[in-house]
Structure 1
Amino acid sequence: MSTERRAPLDRKRVADTALKLLNEVGLEGLTLRAIAKELDVKAPALYWHFKDKQALLDEMATEMYRRMVADGEPALDTTWQERLLTSGRGLRTALLSYRDGAKVFSGSRFTGTLHAVEMERTLRLFTEAGFTLTQAVRATTTAFMYTLGFVTEEQGVEPLPGERRDGYDVDERAARMAEFPLTAAAGAEIFQGYDEGFEEGLLLVVAGIERRYGIS
Structure 2
Amino acid sequence: MNIMTPAVAKKTKTTVGGKRRVPRAGRPSSPLITREAAAEAALRLIDAKGLDALSLQAVAKELGVSAPSLYHHFRDKEELLAEVARRLLFEVGHEQEEWSTDWETRMVELSCATRRVALRHPNAAPLSLRFFPRRLMLPAYEAGLRDCPYPLATQMIVHEVIEKFTYGSSLFAAAAEAHHIPAMPEVDAAHFPRLAEALELAPSDEDIFKEGLQVLLAGLRARYGSR
- Taking structure 2 as the reference length, the TM-score comes to 0.72
The correspondence of residues 156-195 of structure 1 with structure 2, limited to 5 A, is 156-159=175-178, 165=180, 168=182, 173-175=186-188, 178-183=190-195, 193-195=204-206
* Equivalent position amino acid for 1:179 in 2: H
Structure 1: give runs of 5+ residues left out of the alignment: none
Note the 1:21-32 alignment, pairs <5 A. Answer: 21-32=45-56
Residue 215 of structure 1 deviates from its aligned partner by: 2.8
Q: Quick one: which of 118, 124, 135 aligns to 1:95?
A: 118
- Residue range with higher mean Cα deviation, 37-46 or 82-91: 37-46
What CA distance in whole angstroms lies between the structure 2 residues aligned with 1:169 and 1:143?
Answer: 22
1:91 Cα shift? 1.6
Distance 1:153 1:130, change over 3 A: closer
Q: Which moved more, 1:8-17 or 1:46-55?
A: 46-55
**Deviation at 1:35?**
1.6
Q: Which residue, 18, 24, 38 being the options, matches 2:62?
A: 38
Report the counterpart of residue 215 of structure 1 in structure 2. 226
- TM-score, length of structure 1 as denominator length: 0.75
Separation of aligned partners in 2, 1:111 and 1:50: 19
- Please say which structure displays the higher CA radius of gyration: 2
Matched to 1:95, the amino acid is A
Aligned length: 200
Identity %: 26
Contact 1:92-1:147 within 8 A present in 2 as well: yes
Equivalent residues of 2:92, 2:113 under 8 A apart: yes
Change (3 A) 1:179 1:112: closer
Residue 202 of structure 2 corresponds to residue 197 of structure 1 = no
Q: Which amino acid aligns with 2:118?
A: L
- 1:17 correspondence with 2:41: yes
The equivalent residue for 2:109 is 86
Shift of residue 186 of structure 1? 5.9
1:87-126 equivalences in 2 (<5 Å): 87-110=110-133, 113=136, 115-126=137-148
Alpha carbons 2:81, 2:127 under 8 Å: kept: yes
Question: How far did residue 194 of structure 1 move?
Answer: 1.2
Structure 2, unaligned runs of 5 or more: 5-30
Preserved contact between residue 139 and residue 209 of structure 1 (Cα < 8 Å): yes
Choose from 160, 164, 175 the match for 1:141. 160
Alpha-carbon separation, structure 2, partners of 1:35 and 1:96: 22
Mapped to 1, the partners of 2:133 and 2:144 lie a distance apart of 17
Superposition RMSD on alpha carbons, in Å? 3.1
